[in-house]
Amino acid sequence: MTRVTFSLASDQSIRSVDILGHAGYAEEGEDIVCAAISSAVMLTHALLFDVQHIPVDTLIEDEGAHIRITLPQGGNFEKGQDALRALRMHFSELENDYSEFINVMEVHTDAED
């Protein structure tokens, strides 16, 4: 199962998204849930980093299938909210359709960097 965690600030803005694990829907190369997750993450990263020029902090670990995208604090933080909100909506829809293979959750962070 893929676990997706959105970290939220007290004002409900999204600070980061953390994606961990393979969905396990099908064999590698045939897993449509993993493909949907990967494609959405790549599109979101391209929008944030390449199009909006937001210097996001990106962690990619092939072992364990782990990706984290963190928005920088400051002016670019607000600029990236729409992209992460859209990603959260997309992942929530995937969870509705494939709840055995993707789990989406939100955690609140106390720090206000």
pTM above 0.75, yes or no: yes
Please give the full DSSP string across the chain, using - where no structure is assigned.
-EEEEEEE-TTS-EEEEEEES---SSSTTT-HHHHHHHHHHHHHHIIIIIIS----EEEEETTTTEEEEEPPSSHHHHHTHHHHHHHHHHHHHHHHH-TTTEEEEEEE-----
Amino acid 97: pLDDT: 97
Confidence of residue 106 (pLDDT cuts 50, 70, 90): very high
Share of the chain above pLDDT 90, in %: 81
111 has pLDDT over 80: no
Share of the chain above pLDDT 70, in %: 96
Q: Average pLDDT in the 37-53 region?
A: 96
Amino acid 94: pLDDT: 97
